[in-house]
Amino acid sequence: MNSWLTIPIDSDFSIHNLPFGIFSIGKKAPRVGVRIGDFVIDLEQLRKFGLLAVPRNVCNQASLNAFINLGKKKTSAIRLQLQDWLVQEKSPLKKYFNQAFYPIESVKMHLPVKVGDYTDFYSSLEHATNVGKLFRPDNPLVANWKHVPIAYHGRASSIVVSGTPIIRPKGQIKPADSPTPIFSPTKEMDFEVEIGAIIGKNSVLGESISTAEAESYLFGLVLFNDWSARDIQRWEYQPLGPFLGKNFASSISAWVVMMEALEHFRTETPPQDPQPLPYLAFEGKKNFDIELSVRLNIDATHSHTISQTNFRYMYWNLAQQIAHHTVNGCNLKIGDILASGTISGPVAGSNGCLLELSMGGKQPIDAGNGLQRTFLEDNDTLIIEGYCEKEGIRVGFGEVSGKIVASH
C-alpha cells in the first residue's frame, strides 16, 4: 500500500499507522489531527469541507475524549477512510491539501486525552526480579507477584505531553548514614520505560470485564515514562506504596496508535507459571512486538543509547491487566490510562530504568563521550522511542521526551 504523499521510508507514521492526537497551529484552538509522515491532517477542516460525517464539537476539542466517545466502529471507519484516500490517485484530500495538511514542524502538540484516572502496573517479570534482588537477594519476587497483576493508583493531574520540562522533585529522604530523614531535592532521579493503554469505552460500576472482551475497551497505545524519585520512594513506600516519589510527573507521547494498527504485530505472552486463576485465563496472542529504546542527551552535541527492550517481554498482558482491574467491579472511563509498568527484558542492556541499569546507583553506566550516570542530573534529556516493524510494515509511536530542570 503506497500513498501519493511522500513519506520517509523509515517514518514511524506510515500509511499503516495513522495515529490520532491533539495539535494547534498559530493562535488557533487545539483540535484533532492525524499523523501521516511529516504532516498532520486537520480533521476539523475535513469536517467543515464535508468530507467527514462527524458531529460538531468533536474534532474541535482540546482532547480526543469526545472523538473516542464516537465508538470504535466510527473511529476505525474514519481511520480506514483516510487510509483509502491517502492511496487513491484521485483522492478528495488533494483538493484541500493546502488547507488541511500542516508540516509537523509548524504545529504544537498537546496532551492527547483528558485523563480521568491513571493506574500503573508492575507487569515485567525481569523488572520485578531485578529490583527485588537489590533489596531481597535471596527472595526477589514477593509471594503474590505471579498470581496478581500488581498495580498502584497514580496521579492523573501530573501527566504531561512529550517535551514538557520535568522539575526535579523535593521530598523526605532517609540517608543511609543518618538516623533521621532530611528534606531535599531527589538525588536519585530516574525514568521508567512503559507503554500506556488509553481506555476507549466506559464500563459499568459493579461489573467485571473478561479477558475475552478486555481489548474492546482499548482505543490505542502511547509511550509512557513514569518518572521516579528513587530515594523519596524508598523512604515512603512502606506500608502503602508509592506516593511523592512518583506523582510529580509522568510523560506520554503525543500520538495515540490505534489497536487496529498493531494487529500485525501480535505475539505470544511469555509462559505463566503457576497457572493464573480462571478470571485471568486468556486465549490467543495478547502481547505486542514493540521495539523500545532509551537515549540520554546530556547536552546538545551528543545522544547516547542506554537501553533497548521490547513490550513483548511483559509477563501480564493488557487483557489480564484490564480483567484484574475490573474484577472487583471498578469501572473504567474513556481517557483513563493503564500504564504497563517498567519494561525490562532478559538480555543485557534491556533494563527499563536506571535503578536496574546502575544496580541501585552502585555501578555508573556509560552515558557517552566519556561521561557516566547513576541517576539523571539537571539538564539531562531522556528520550524513549518505540516502533513495530515486520514484513516491510512499520508502525511507530515517535518519542516521549523530557528535560530535567533544577528544583524551584
- Grid cell listed for 235: 523512604
In angstroms, the CA 257 to CA 386 distance is: 11
At residue 369, the pLDDT reads: 86
Sequence ranges of the binding site for substrate: 122, 136, 233, 237, 342
- What residue ranges do the domains of the chain occupy? 20-110, 118-405
Take residue 15 and report the three cell numbers written for it. Answer: 500509511
Which residue has cell 506510515?
14
Closest C-alpha to 92, from 51, 44, 39? 51
Q: Which residues are catalytic?
A: 127
Give CATH superfamily name and number for 20-110. Fumarylacetoacetase, N-terminal domain (2.30.30.230)
Give CA–CA dist 234/316, Å, rounded: 25
Please tell me the chain's helix, strand, coil percentages from 3-state DSSP, rounded to the nearest 5. 20, 30, 50
Nearest to 259 by CA among 343, 200, 311, 204: 200
Q: Which residues does the annotation place in the binding site? A: 120, 122, 136, 192, 194, 226, 233, 237, 246, 250, 342
**Mean pLDDT split into 10-residue runs, the chain, 408 residues:** 93 98 96 98 98 96 98 98 97 96 98 98 97 90 96 97 98 95 98 98 98 98 98 94 96 98 98 98 98 94 94 98 98 98 96 97 93 96 98 97 97
Residue of 159, 231, 244 whose CA lies nearest to 194: 159
Q: How far apart are the C-alpha atoms of 389 and 146, rounded to whole Å? A: 30
Cα end-to-end span (Å), the chain:
51
Instruction: Decide if domain 118-405 falls under CATH 3.30.70.270.
Output: no
What is the pLDDT, as a whole number, of residue 208? 98
Q: What is the largest CA-CA distance in the chain?
A: 75
pLDDT of residue 79: 98
Q: With contact defined as beta carbons under 8 Å apart, do 335 and 198 qualify?
A: yes
Residues annotated in a binding site for Ca(2+):
120, 192, 194, 226
- The cell for 363 is 555501578
* Distance, CA of 381 to CA of 361 (rounded, Å): 19
Instruction: Note the pLDDT of residue 393.
Output: 96
Backbone angles phi, psi at 160, to 5 degrees: -130, 160
Could you tell me which residues are beta bridge partners of residue 225? 193, 251
How many of the other CB atoms lie within 10 Å of CB of 373? 20
Summarize the annotated binding site for Mg(2+) as residue ranges. Answer: 226, 246, 250
Q: Measuring CA to CA, how many Å separate 254 from each of 46, 151, 297, 365?
A: 21, 24, 20, 29
- Output the pLDDT for position 299: 84
